[in-house]
Amino acid sequence: MALVGLVRVSTDKQETARQHDALNDAGCVKIFEERISGKLTVAERPGLSAALSYMREGDMLTVQEVDRLGRNLLEGLIMLNDLFAQGYAVKVLDGIAAGEHTERSLILDLALALAEDRRRDISRKTKNGLEAAKKRGAALGRKPVMSEAMVVQAVALRDKGFTIRQIQPHLTYKTGSGETRNPSVGAISQALQAHDESQS
């Protein structure tokens, strides 16, 4: 029997190291990763499909927490039903559902329900915090990449006939870690549009 790991996050910006570390420590022979917001069928989950194709009889699909199988209660339950119906076993490393499972159980259902409730609570608190900060007049969101000087330079280059892609290499900014980067085409375009609107 071998453990085959599955790592899932919803967006490209989310960190996967914690899940990888947990699965490696558990002794997974191979780990598959997917960045997807959760879907209802195995066919719509590339990482999960690849993991199941790799597995041999007796192997166990392993996740750090049961909610890696689905982003909410409904998706998690459907996914578990699908996996168990096809004869796959699931191992959960952390949380109240930690252990090996070959069929649906109250503890699995409860773990998914609690995970969904936790996400809903985090979302509500984040929303309330943003609203409170907004009322206090705090500036929300990331600092714009395009500084005023960069916008002036971009406008001057555009007036000379440069396209946005030709303008891009001429503009640079430093990240928080000190790296020098070019702003994205989208950032330049938005800055130019905002400048044009302010002039009209």
- For the stretch 168-177, contacts whose Cβ atoms lie closer than 8 Å and that sit 24 or more positions apart, written own/partner, are 171/146, 173/145, 173/147
Distance between CA atoms of 152 and 25, rounded to whole angstroms? 52
Residue 155's CB is within 10 A of a number of other CB atoms, namely 16
Select which of 10, 105, 123, 184 is catalytic: 10
Distance between CA atoms of 10 and 37, rounded to whole angstroms? 4
Residue 62: beta bridge partners? 5, 91
DSSP character for 163? -
Q: Is 10 one of the catalytic residues?
A: yes
**Amino acid making up residue 6:** L
Residues 6 or more apart whose CB falls under 8 angstroms from that of 68 comprise: 6, 7, 8, 19
Is residue 94 within 8 A of residue 64, CB to CB? The reply is yes
The residues annotated as belonging to the active site are: 10
